[in-house]
Chains A and B, each alone.
Chain A
């Protein structure tokens, strides 16, 4: 099989850190849109976070919304252009902290959009501070002695949203091995396919490497997901209405 970069990616190098999962997830979204022939129908919302420059790398229509508000902006697009594919791409700070309200209500309305949620257990862009998804004992720049109970529990987005009636499909995947990446791609295609068939709200959570925020080597960051994240954030399908 030949493996060509998809048309949905622009042919330019990106500025993510070495080993960062964003590049892989960008490519999975782009490949999936190509394979489903949806590129020309897609409007995406990039977040405030490391992926803020998504529009420099994606070759489909993209805008950047205020921090945490991509689900609201996507709702605005989808409501006026219901036959387009509308996606948001959000980090854990964007989606689970400042944008907690918007994601819950978009999910609850069964907004027919696909959310690609990148959980890297920290705030990458602002320098590696605690995110809602930061785990106990994890050292970040604002939990220098590790996260404690005082900071609250890590937020489990898939578990939380899957109880909402409007949600049609939610899966948590990881991008730290070839097998996991293949599964992640299947999940992306499934979410987009559901949207194309007007099934309602879909979300894929990616456990994604942030070697810089975690202060480990790229190679170590792959293991870090297995060793530290999987226990708190088990992979799997949390909801599938078909």
Chain B
């Protein structure tokens, strides 16, 4: 990994089905259920605080709802 590249945690709220796996396994305890619901009636996960971009949430997400990207990848 190149040092200095800024990361972003992307949560695709529409894909999320509120299984809670990311919240359960996040080592930084930084994910939570959002108060609002998505179009399918689920409370999607949201980032509350600091993220270390370890990728555990991506690994356990069954719904293709989480990605970690380099900031420059999305600003393009």
Binding site for B on A (CB under 8 A): 1-5, 9, 11, 13-14, 16-24, 27, 177-178, 181-182, 211, 218-219, 222
Least CB distance from A14 to B in Å reads 7
A13–B14 touching, CB < 8 Å? yes
B1–A9 touching, CB < 8 Å? no
A2–B63 touching, CB < 8 Å? no
A2–B25 touching, CB < 8 Å? no
B residues near A19, Cβ cutoff 8 Å: 17, 19-21, 62
Contact-size category for B: 20 to 34
B residues near A27, Cβ cutoff 8 Å: 64
A13–B7 touching, CB < 8 Å? no
A21–B58 touching, CB < 8 Å? no
Give residues of chain B (9-62) contacting chain A, Cβ–Cβ below 8 Å: 14-15, 17-21, 24-25, 42, 53, 55-56, 58-62
B55–A3 touching, CB < 8 Å? yes
A residues near B70, Cβ cutoff 8 Å: 2
A residues near B59, Cβ cutoff 8 Å: 3, 178, 181-182
Which residue of the partner chain, among A3, A11, A14, A211, contacts B63 with CB atoms under 8 Å?
A: A14
Cα-based distance from A21 to B64 in the complex (angstroms): 12
B67–A14 touching, CB < 8 Å? no
Which residue of the partner chain, among A2, A17, A218, contacts B21 with CB atoms under 8 Å?
A: A218
Cα-based distance from A11 to B67 in the complex (angstroms): 12
- Known contacts: A218-B21, A219-B24. The answer to whether A13 contacts B62 by CB under 8 A is no
A residues near B62, Cβ cutoff 8 Å: 16, 19-24
Cα-based distance from A27 to B21 in the complex (angstroms): 15
Name 25 interchain pairs, CB-CB below 8 A, sorted by A: A1-B68, A2-B68, A3-B66, A3-B67, A3-B68, A4-B68, A11-B64, A13-B14, A13-B15, A14-B63, A16-B63, A19-B19, A19-B21, A24-B60, A24-B61, A24-B62, A177-B60, A178-B25, A178-B60, A181-B60, A218-B19, A218-B21, A219-B21, A219-B24, A222-B24
Cα-based distance from A5 to B59 in the complex (angstroms): 10
B56–A1 touching, CB < 8 Å? no
Cα-based distance from A222 to B68 in the complex (angstroms): 24
B73–A2 touching, CB < 8 Å? yes
A residues near B21, Cβ cutoff 8 Å: 19, 218-219, 222
Which residue of the partner chain, among B55, B60, B61, contacts A1 with CB atoms under 8 Å?
A: B55
B25–A23 touching, CB < 8 Å? no
A residues near B24, Cβ cutoff 8 Å: 219, 222
Least CB distance from B7 to A in Å reads 7
A residues near B15, Cβ cutoff 8 Å: 13
B residues near A1, Cβ cutoff 8 Å: 1, 53, 55, 68
